Amino acid sequence: MPDRPAAPDSSGVERRHPVHTRPVPLLTRILIVAAALLFADQVTKSLAVAFLSGRGSVPMIPDIFHLTLVRNAGMAFGLFPAKGAGLTILTTGIILGLVIWMIRMPRSWGIRFWLGLGLVLGGAVGNWVDRLHTGGVIDFLDFRIWPVFNLADSGITCGAVWIIFQLLRGERRGRGDKDAPDPV
């Protein structure tokens, strides 16, 4: 932490005082994580379309990990195929609901959940952008034993796991006050 310039105290000895910086607001932290994931997701999807279109499945580690371009009209991991604007409208409502909830949630919840919320929000927006532009989601990560997915799907999954972990961690502690602040 940077120090302020030395100032003499009452005994004439110069002492350094740490500069106190303002903490980054929780909503800002959430939005930074979401924006970083959104950026990485959209860049990797653009690269996947540019380099994988018309190439089929490209083995990176044969029979384990391939790059396979898939346009997914369904929900996460290609589940629940859907047609039309219904899924885009549903996703829009979920994103808006998530943002409103994040703005209104108790500050202490944000301390525990900001990373997970940022990942879920960034992933949801990444797939939403695809739906608006292409009518479906661009997937390309193929581990052969699981449906093809993308970074946005990974963010949603990891964020949800983080939130569940935090909820279980709070329950395991047996705290009486669920709104008591946790250390960052």
**Burial tier of 153 (Cβ tally within 10 Å: 0-12, 13-18, 19+):** buried
- Expressed as residue numbers, the domain containing 97 is 26-173
Catalytic residues, by residue number, are 139, 153
Rounded average pLDDT over 34-47 = 98
118 within a domain of the structure (yes/no): yes
Per the DSSP assignment, residues forming a β-bridge with 14 are 8
18 within a domain of the structure (yes/no): no
pLDDT tens digits, residue range 49-83? Answer: 999 999 999 999 999 999 999 998 876 655 666 66
pLDDT tens digits, residue range 105-146? Answer: 777 766 778 899 999 999 999 999 998 898 889 999 999 998
51 within a domain of the structure (yes/no): yes
For residue 176, pLDDT over 90 is answered with no
Distance CA 130, CA 124 (A): 10
8 within a domain of the structure (yes/no): no
Which token pair is 170? 């709070």
* pTM of the entire predicted model: 0.74
Q: Count the domains in the chain.
A: 1
Which token pair is 17? 């005082």
121 within a domain of the structure (yes/no): yes
10 within a domain of the structure (yes/no): no
